[in-house]
Amino acid sequence: MASLANYLIGEEGLVDEIEIPYIPGTGRGSRALLSDKPEHPDGSNMSGQRRVSGGYYLFTGLSAEDKQRYVSELPEKVGLKCEFSGGW
């Protein structure tokens, strides 16, 4: 996830296409996937986070199902498509 985020931020201009903090899905959730500080919008600690390009924090404390969904969603923000092959 971090490698994907680094690529999308550094090479594809992801942060120009999303609002930070970025809340995936409908944008009405309580957990940020990408933020400029290691906390969620409600002020709670972003446990399981990793610092990525641009000084942003990526929330990695997710289930495998959520990670797969968000790995597919992020590239769409910059006009790319993610496909999975093999085991996850």
Instruction: Give tens-digit pLDDT for 42-76.
Output: 999 998 899 999 999 999 998 888 888 888 899 99
pLDDT score, position 82: 84
d(CA 87, CA 77): 25
pLDDT confidence band for 28 (50 / 70 / 90):
confident
- For tokens 């641009």, name the residue: 54
Mean model confidence pLDDT for the chain: 91
- How much is the pTM? 0.89
Q: Determine what percent of the chain is predicted with pLDDT higher than 70.
A: 98
What span, in angstroms and rounded, lies between the C-alpha atoms of 29 and 62? 14
What 12-21 contacts at long range (C-beta under 8 Å, 24+ apart), as own/partner pairs, is 12/75, 12/78, 12/80, 13/78, 14/74, 14/77, 14/78, 15/54, 15/56, 17/77, 17/78, 18/77, 20/56
